[in-house]
Copies of this chain bind each other. A is one copy, B any other.
Amino acid sequence: MIEHYQAITSFIVELEKLKKVERRIKPPGLSRYENSAEHSWQISLLALTLSPYAKQEVDVLKVVTMLLLHDIVEIDTGDKFAYNANHDDFENELVAAKRLFALLPSQLEQKFLSLWIEFEKAESAEAIFAKGLDRVMPVIQNLHNGCQSWLEHDISIEQVLEKNKVVAKANPELWQWVSQQVKVIGEQAGVREK
């Protein structure tokens, strides 16, 4: 049994590195960039609060597990900005996922790796919901921090609406409400239209 605790501790200590991975967003009220560890915490809570309103019924523990794990590959690959051409980096991320999960006892390794892959494929109800939340979170943050990351990276309202329209697959009403705010608040903040 001790070897299981050694394995789990190695994994948990390796995760410390995600606290160093910077995203492009400055959280509303903070002057520094967000890291991927605190982001993962916040969207797990977004999942817990929005799951009663998901388009398809979801296994909430599965969604939360996906979201707690989804970004740990960035320990090896770094954060990819959603609007960059190289945003999809599945092959490199898979190598990272395999390295990290291999630190765990084999039963957990298999379970987490298959959940991570399921999230990336975005086909199951849980993965579609979790992916939608991962997309809507930085939109909500931009709506409350003066559209900081859109302005800083010269992203247009049209790009925001196009890139994040998958949120509607998780929750169409939520996306309708959020996208209306993107237009109004984005324009007020000086985000270019196209």
Contact = CB atoms under 8 A, between A and B. Distances in A.
A37 B68 CA distance: 12
A122 to B, nearest CB: 21
A29 B20 CA distance: 9
Contacts of A5: 53, 173-174, 177-178
Copies of this chain in the oligomer = 2
Report, as a range, how many residues of chain A touch the other chain.
Answer: 35 or more
Interface in A1-17: 1-2, 4-5, 8-9, 11-13, 15-17
Contact of A49 (B16, B108, B174): B108
Interface of A: 1-2, 4-5, 8-9, 11-13, 15-20, 27-30, 34-35, 37-38, 40-42, 44-46, 48-50, 52-53, 60-61, 64-65, 68-69, 104, 107-108, 137, 140-141, 144, 173-174, 177-178
Given A19-B34, A64-B64, 8 more contacts: A1-B53, A4-B53, A9-B140, A12-B46, A16-B141, A37-B37, A44-B68, A61-B61
